[in-house]
Structure 1
Amino acid sequence: MKKLLLGICALILVIPVFAQQRKLTVIDASSRQPVPGATISLPNGKSILTDQEGNFELPEAIKNAIFSSIGYKTASLNIAMGQDTILLERYNLFLQPVEVKAIRADDKAPFARTNISAQEIGKQNLGQDLPFLLNHTPSVVVNSDAGNGVGYTGIRIRGTDATRINMTLNGIPYNDAESQGLFLVNLPDFASSVSSIQIQRGVGTSSNGAGAFGATLNVSTNEFHENAYGEASNSFGSFNTWKNTVKAGSGLIGDHFTIDARLSRISSDGYVDRASSNLSSFYVSAAYLSEKSSLRFNAFSGKEKTYQAWNGIPQSEANTNRTYNSAGTEKPDGPYENETDNYQQDHYQLFFNHSFSEKLSFNTAAFLTRGRGYYEQYKADEDYSKYGLSNPVIGGETIENTDLIRQLWLDNHFYGGVYSLLYKHKGTQLTLGGAYTQYDGKHYGKIIWAETGIANGYKWYDNNADKSDFNFYGKWQQKLNAHWQSFADLQFRTVNYAIDGFRDNPGLTTDSRFNFFNPKAGITYTRNNWNAFASISVANKEPNRDDFEAGVNQQPKAERLYDLELGLERKTSRYSWSANFYYMSYRDQLVLTGKINDVGSYTRTNIDQSYRMGIELQGGVKPASWISLLGNITLSENKVRDFTEYIDDYDAGIQLERKYKKSDISFSPSLIGSATALITPFANAELAFIGKYVGRQYLDNTSNRNRSLAPYYTQDLRLRYTVRGKFFNETGFVFQVNNLFNKRYEPNGYTFSYIYDKIFYTENYVYPMAGINWMAGVNIRL
């Protein structure tokens, strides 16, 4: 299977295909300027985009298509023989969101990037979380606690986890301010409201929010819908998984107003025992548009209740007891039925865009993210001292422990403002932008029941955290001549973070300040559908909340990354390919070493030097009108130059040290690949064969194969058929089989080692994924 994947990808990257094509240009009807990024929707359901010069190529056999672009009226046009231009009429309204343009990399920016449209997302949006919808983009590895992509999921890009991936929603930071993670379970079915996603791999351009140490995810929802619409999407599949979505939009009312809304529900039993999910969300966006300005308000919310499946299973049981879940099993007479995570996150976003002239435009936005929730646990034989209590004496007998049920709460407000100013004239584009954000977080725990000696509602810890983040940046893109363009980007960021104690270390308080300077520079060469670029970037990142619990004498340092990117690509309407080389050099990267902190917990430690070096290859080819081949491969080397492992020796009551030279960075496979064959057997039908390969992943930084996850190759099959103009405007049927050949694999896990009774033990835990499973959906558009 591995050879098949590599063979398909090699075929994609080297085969040029020739077919009867004609070249056309989409231009603005009034200014006669080209329209880059316009969408051409073909009768067979496919779509293509115009390049930076507004050009595209169309098969001779296609005589009509639908042309659309933000800011222009959608046009359904017949294409005459010999015609070489398409005219689009501009709306006399301000439609393009400045907040998205300010932080995204355009086609000539010197960074590795992937753009994903709403249409591409919709093809596979059957209920799985957002990371699984990005699974087949370059250098991506995803995982799921429940084993089927619903509930808690994770994503790594170039081996870096979500705490190092910067994510924005319409230019507004999304990462959790303290852990810096991406908890996308709090935004169930958000993909149904997304208009586009851009993934920037590496440091990328300056964005608001957390530092990008592996990638940036820019997610946009602020899309203009010209006409009124209504949609209903329903899907059902394995593990009693349901997704129900209703969407509606008013279109343009009175030449100025629009409103869009969505309501979603997702539920699943999960592949793993009791790993159930009950998720709900809504999205509302209202806008007022005029010739020079736009005002938009977004309100969206997600609520999740998931049964905990965080513990994984021993790797030794991965073949015999794959669905076992230890969560809740401390309860004597059976698993505790409410061992759940409960959280609600509400988002409010207000945007104002204004165009001063054709050259100058401005954006400002204010936002509030409100989160609150808890996870509940049944704990057996807990010591009273752990909860700050003395042992109770009942009937003359001293009680030393008790069973109890506890809730660990997080209650926070995250708010602030962002802004951007864009100037564009001839070959010069300048962007000034920035943000100020404030996070107020409360961490506390409550005992809601105890067998003996603790009153219901007892709060045993109550710790607050305060974090402010201020940044501003300037970007300068300059066209040097017809083929060369330079890029410069300077960002200053300052972070203040104060923590008023920790659950297991209430006396430890911190108050830290970080000042970061993040410069970036690059150059791009374009000519005759060729594009080459080079860039070098610097990024800095503050530690996470847990890193500060290391102890008074073990406070962590900030991390730094130097990123070199070299790219070459060629795109035509018949085939495309690209190669991107990267070298990411880290200073003081924080990693788990086995070292324990002041309260006996494992903590991340700064290591001096480490690096990631690789090449990302991707491409697509259309051998015939009825088939398209797509694929990507990442080959990489990911190393810690000098690594020290700490091992608990319980016999001696100390930690032993082991040193390694040039060992592999954990969770960083040297080979990642994806290949897709899209077949159109007849009109309005599509058959997709999808393969994914992930190489060996080490669970720690020792390169020990006994602490690793085996490579895996999985295949999916998706069938789509669309009926147009019968009972509804459009009815789409989707059937997808995941893990078609029932591969047993685990994309995530953890490990720890220790010495006890003079024997060395290693415990590996993994998170199994489901075998063959399926989803079916019906999507109706009025």
Structure 2
Amino acid sequence: MKLINKSMLTAIITLSTASVYYAQQVQDTASKSKDIEEVVLTGVADIAKDRKTPVAVSTIKAAQIAERLGNQELPEILNTTPSVYVTKGGGGFGDASIRVRGFGNSNIAVMINGIPVNDMENGAVYWSNWAGLSDVTSAIQMQRGLGSSKLAIASVGGTMNYITRAADMKRQGNVTVGLGNDGYLKTSFAYNTGKSAKGWSTSFLLGRTAGSMYFEGSEFEAYNYYFALGYQPNEKHDFQFTFTGAPQWHNQNFTNSIATFLDMGDGLLDGKKAADPNRRYNSNWGLLNGEEFSTNTNYYSKPIMSLNWDWKISEKSKLSTVGYASFGRGGGTGFLGSINGKSIFNVAKTADGQMRWDDIVRWNQGAVIADFTNNAGTAAPANATPGIATRNNGIVRRAHVNSHNWYGILTNFQHKINENWNFSAGFDGRYYYGYHPGVITDFLGNREYRENQNLNQQPYYTVTEAYKAKPSANPFVKAIKDDSQIASRNYDGEVLWYGVFGQVEYSKDKISAFIQGSASNQGFQRIDNWVVDGVTRQPNAVTGEVVQRKTGFKNILGYNAKGGVNYNIDEMHNVFANVGYYSRQPFLTAVYPNNQQVLNPNLTNEKIFSAELGYGFRSSDFKANVNLYRTSWADRFQRRTGLTIDPDNNPATNNSFLNAYAEVNGITEVHSGIEFEGFYKVGKFLELEGAVSIGDWKYTKDATSTAYDENNNPINLSSGSNVSTLALDGVKVGDAAQFTTSLVAIVKPIEGLRIFANWRYYDKLYAGFNVNDFDNSRNNATYTAPATEFGALELPDYHLFDLGASYRFNIKGGQSFTIGANVYNLFDTTYISESTSNVHANQSRRNFTSDAAYNSYVNAGQWNGVSQQNTVYFGFGRTWAANVTFTF
């Protein structure tokens, strides 16, 4: 198959028009039509239908989002659905993380009106880019497992489809003001014109959210805009244009050890640690000229526009197409340089653990700061090059820019053969170009920064311009204005994706079924703008490796096939089953290891096989679903970093070995479990919602890893070999609770008033460990790798309670006021939501390589049965939100 070049694909997208069925599809659940497009899957959005589409699904509607979300992150609204574990991550605005059936963000397909939005280089989803969706979403459909989407997408754990409001909603407007803890303030204005006699309609929204999150040093500011224009000239054609974005910046927080959280706790007596950790502590911030300043600020704007066309060709045929484009602009900050050879995080802080920015500025400018010691622990002299920063001396704050231009087209033709059979076929094309330069965002008192990594400008060039760590108001602004002011890095990533899909559907009386398949080619290219074509990169001098500026495209084929059947036993009972297989291409980060211009020698597609059984019950007062599932994930990509090399077997001492890595082969995970979800209307005044999920997610065999330097040359580790065995067989998969329970009670004592209480329980939560912990080659007569002996670290279980109320009262002319309030973590429970380390309690001397390491472990002690050496995220304490909405 011949590649489609960039100009061809851009032209197709520019000239195309398209259509997606919007929120009215989700709301029209009472339809009795037997048309197959309404029975199973419709348009490009693939909305699952109750008792018809054979997948496990939960749907959250707009009213529930408005009622319960408050100042939480958008994915958190799914926390009461089965097998879903959502945390706030570090707790920064939009830094939430979601796992479904034990699979993380990169393995969950996120879609907006059927359009995929997972990053095309690494599959990630950054929720801060989509914070404004909560204001314009009509429904969220969470399809667990392989789901019903026809596309070859990363839906290993599930598919989240956000259905936004359509332009042709009824005429209505609203103004909302929301308040919350730590200065949270949200305002928005929205209006729908309704459809005119000539078929035109418009919907728009503008909003702003600002304040701080729960932890210290967490200021943020975000805006949100949404515009939809609809035109339906006749019954055959329906056009919808949408444009939405949410530019934001926010300060971030990263993990600290439990010991650090305790050191920063309240109630210190005679230098002893507090009994409770300071959950608000953030080691990344301090005051600069009296204002909050963070080491790590994320800033981004990712507007997405789409033009949709639905063409009813005949009573039996229709064509649904969507052309879309996304323009991501922004990045995240970090630091370059050192102070007296020390990382900025090891420089002395204030008594309450804040960064001393004003003193750092003074040191950069030549002042002597007495307690800014060197690595030997002795007082160091003043900066040897005041006002001049380099990679090795002086401190500047930089940003790694991650911008992109992304164009795509989806088209789906559906034809009804007869009353029972229907088929559809379509095309999925995408072109993505990612820009990844670095810039300086603050010189911190320096006059300049000298960059020496660009091989085109040796020995260095001078950077003097600082960029603000805030998104531009212009969504189409260039990723970088001046190439001469790039610092830290400068590479691009290019992805070209095209695929085809097809589906056959059957529906008759009590049975509905489908079989579908897709195939796609993904082409990946990495472009290093600091490499001169045909010139050897300096760190590769030992091997003689020649590195080109452009790698050329690496094309990889992938495919999937799946099918399912639903049988309605009677008006109350139904059963379903589905099965599917994916051969999924690796991401760009796997194709070119260690962020270098060399091709991974061990590229292989990941293999996913999934099977599921389900049962549903429906009555006037009680609804329930039970699902059994098993998903096998083989040849999962994993890279090991932070390796220790063997200097005797690797005599070269050049910089290439500083980037040693290992590719892990043979990793297989199996995720199986059972889920229950139910709704019970007890009477006129009380409703109950409940969910239980029990998972068994684990690795099923050992794996091997082979070590390489940055040029893909085999390299020996400290064990004396370049091949290691990772003892993973039977180890539990970490980073998500494998047992979850939730119960929501909704009380409606009087008309317009709703009071709701939510209880959630999490257990069998394991740490998100480093696979290096399971390296058997580390074992010897006196030392056994801790994780190999103990398995994955299990964290303490915890309960959470939320309470809220909403009251709506109507006034004349169809206008109304709605007042709402929520309290989250009502009882202020202290709990660990995530751990990024795997240090077990009650270890012996044989688990450590030295007496010093063992003594440090013993002295650290434990907290709630967990070693204080573990680096963790604590969940938020008690928080609150309130809002008032005027609808007219």
Q: State the TM-score bracket (shorter-chain normalisation).
A: 0.7 to 0.9
Q: Which of 751, 761, 765 is residue 871 of structure 2 equivalent to?
A: 765
| Deviations 1:657-679 (CA, angstroms, capped at 9, x unpaired) | 65243110112432112111111
| Deviations 1:107-150 (CA, angstroms, capped at 9, x unpaired) | 41221111222222222242322111222121111111453x84
Aligned to 1:287: 230
Is 2:26–2:139's contact at 8 Å kept on the other side of the alignment? no
Give the Cα–Cα distance (whole angstroms) in 2 for the partners of residues 586 and 337 of structure 1: 39
Q: Which of 432, 435, 447 is residue 428 of structure 2 equivalent to?
A: 435
Is 1:142–1:747's contact at 8 Å kept on the other side of the alignment? no
Cα distance, 1:142–1:309 mapped onto 2, change above 3 Å: same
Where does 1:703-782 land on structure 2 (aligned, <5 Å)? 704=790, 707-726=793-812, 729-751=815-837, 757=850, 759=853, 763-782=869-888
| Deviations 1:343-394 (CA, angstroms, capped at 9, x unpaired) | 111211111111112221111121110011122234451799x9xxxxx996
Is 2:284–2:295's contact at 8 Å kept on the other side of the alignment? no
Where does 1:507-546 land on structure 2 (aligned, <5 Å)? 509=551, 511-526=553-568, 527-546=570-589
Give the Cα–Cα distance (whole angstroms) in 2 for the partners of residues 653 and 724 of structure 1: 77
Where does 1:679-718 land on structure 2 (aligned, <5 Å)? 679-699=747-767, 700=769, 702=787, 704=790, 707-718=793-804
1:650 deviation in Å?
A: 11
Is 2:631–2:670's contact at 8 Å kept on the other side of the alignment? yes
Matched, 1:669 2:716: no
Matched, 1:151 2:94: yes
1:544 deviation in Å?
A: 3.0
Give the Cα–Cα distance (whole angstroms) in 1 for the partners of residues 141 and 389 of structure 2: 61
Matched, 1:423 2:415: yes
Give the Cα–Cα distance (whole angstroms) in 1 for the partners of residues 490 and 691 of structure 2: 48
Matched, 1:322 2:381: no
Q: Which amino acid counterpart does residue 593 of structure 2 have in structure 1?
A: E
The alignment partner of 2:737 has SS state of: coil
Aligned to 1:587: 634
Matched, 1:199 2:242: no
Matched, 1:549 2:596: no
| Deviations 1:508-552 (CA, angstroms, capped at 9, x unpaired) | 957432211211122211122211011110123332343332475
Of Structure 1 and Structure 2, which has the larger fraction of its residues in helix? 2
Give the Cα–Cα distance (whole angstroms) in 2 for the partners of residues 555 and 204 of structure 1: 30
Is 1:330–1:379's contact at 8 Å kept on the other side of the alignment? no
CA RMSD of the aligned region, Å? 3.8
Give the Cα–Cα distance (whole angstroms) in 2 for the partners of residues 618 and 103 of structure 1: 19
Cα distance, 1:104–1:440 mapped onto 2, change above 3 Å: farther
Q: Which amino acid counterpart does residue 556 of structure 2 have in structure 1?
A: F
Matched, 1:355 2:312: yes
The alignment partner of 1:682 has SS state of: coil
Give the Cα–Cα distance (whole angstroms) in 2 for the partners of residues 267 and 398 of structure 1: 34
Cα distance, 1:668–1:524 mapped onto 2, change above 3 Å: same
Cα distance, 1:245–1:632 mapped onto 2, change above 3 Å: same
Q: Which amino acid counterpart does residue 688 of structure 2 have in structure 1?
A: L
Aligned to 1:300: 244
Aligned to 1:109: 53
Aligned to 1:497: 524
Between 1:556-565 and 1:120-129, the stretch displaced more is 120-129
Aligned length: 692
The alignment partner of 2:701 has SS state of: strand
1:170 deviation in Å?
A: 1.4
Where does 1:563-574 land on structure 2 (aligned, <5 Å)? 563-574=610-621
Is 2:87–2:98's contact at 8 Å kept on the other side of the alignment? yes
Percent identical:
21
| Deviations 1:490-516 (CA, angstroms, capped at 9, x unpaired) | 111211111225999995957432211
Is 2:703–2:726's contact at 8 Å kept on the other side of the alignment? yes
Give the Cα–Cα distance (whole angstroms) in 2 for the partners of residues 280 and 267 of structure 1: 9
TM-score relative to the length of structure 1: 0.80
Aligned to 2:686: 627
Of Structure 1 and Structure 2, which has the larger fraction of its residues in strand? 1
The alignment partner of 2:131 has SS state of: coil
Aligned to 1:62: none
TM-score relative to the length of structure 2: 0.71
The alignment partner of 2:75 has SS state of: helix
Is 1:431–1:474's contact at 8 Å kept on the other side of the alignment? yes
Aligned to 2:472: none
Give the Cα–Cα distance (whole angstroms) in 2 for the partners of residues 104 and 297 of structure 1: 24
Give the Cα–Cα distance (whole angstroms) in 1 for the partners of residues 79 and 196 of structure 2: 38
The alignment partner of 2:836 has SS state of: strand
Is 2:167–2:192's contact at 8 Å kept on the other side of the alignment? no
Where does 1:595-610 land on structure 2 (aligned, <5 Å)? 596=643, 599-600=658-659, 605-610=664-669
Aligned to 1:640: 699
1:157 deviation in Å?
A: 0.7
Cα distance, 1:727–1:252 mapped onto 2, change above 3 Å: closer
Cα distance, 1:573–1:101 mapped onto 2, change above 3 Å: farther
Aligned to 2:623: 576
Query: Gaps (5+ residues) in structure 1?
Result: 1-35, 41-48, 55-69, 72-95, 387-391
Between 1:770-779 and 1:322-331, the stretch displaced more is 322-331
Give the Cα–Cα distance (whole angstroms) in 2 for the partners of residues 646 and 696 of structure 1: 28
1:273 deviation in Å?
A: 1.1
Is 1:440–1:466's contact at 8 Å kept on the other side of the alignment? yes
Q: Which of 70, 73, 76 is residue 129 of structure 1 equivalent to?
A: 73
Is 1:594–1:645's contact at 8 Å kept on the other side of the alignment? no
The alignment partner of 1:688 has SS state of: strand
Give the Cα–Cα distance (whole angstroms) in 2 for the partners of residues 175 and 447 of structure 1: 28
Cα distance, 1:653–1:336 mapped onto 2, change above 3 Å: farther
Q: Which amino acid counterpart does residue 572 of structure 1 have in structure 2?
A: S
Give the Cα–Cα distance (whole angstroms) in 2 for the partners of residues 488 and 280 of structure 1: 42
Q: Which amino acid counterpart does residue 428 of structure 2 have in structure 1?
A: A
Q: Which amino acid counterpart does residue 60 of structure 2 have in structure 1?
A: I
Is 2:498–2:521's contact at 8 Å kept on the other side of the alignment? yes
1:172 deviation in Å?
A: 1.4
1:778 deviation in Å?
A: 0.6
Cα distance, 1:477–1:408 mapped onto 2, change above 3 Å: same
Between 1:459-468 and 1:626-635, the stretch displaced more is 459-468
Where does 1:46-125 land on structure 2 (aligned, <5 Å)? 50=30, 99-102=43-46, 104=48, 107-125=51-69
Give the Cα–Cα distance (whole angstroms) in 2 for the partners of residues 579 and 175 of structure 1: 29
Aligned to 1:370: 327
The alignment partner of 1:500 has SS state of: strand
Cα distance, 1:595–1:381 mapped onto 2, change above 3 Å: closer
The alignment partner of 1:326 has SS state of: coil
Cα distance, 1:98–1:657 mapped onto 2, change above 3 Å: closer
Aligned to 2:372: none
Is 1:102–1:422's contact at 8 Å kept on the other side of the alignment? no
Is 1:127–1:189's contact at 8 Å kept on the other side of the alignment? no
| Deviations 1:463-497 (CA, angstroms, capped at 9, x unpaired) | 11110111221112212x42223220111121111
Give the Cα–Cα distance (whole angstroms) in 1 for the partners of residues 301 and 626 of structure 2: 42
Aligned to 1:444: 437
Is 1:437–1:470's contact at 8 Å kept on the other side of the alignment? yes
Cα distance, 1:315–1:746 mapped onto 2, change above 3 Å: farther
| Deviations 1:542-585 (CA, angstroms, capped at 9, x unpaired) | 32343332475664432111000100111122101111000101
The alignment partner of 1:419 has SS state of: strand
Cα distance, 1:706–1:164 mapped onto 2, change above 3 Å: closer
Give the Cα–Cα distance (whole angstroms) in 2 for the partners of residues 502 and 602 of structure 1: 23
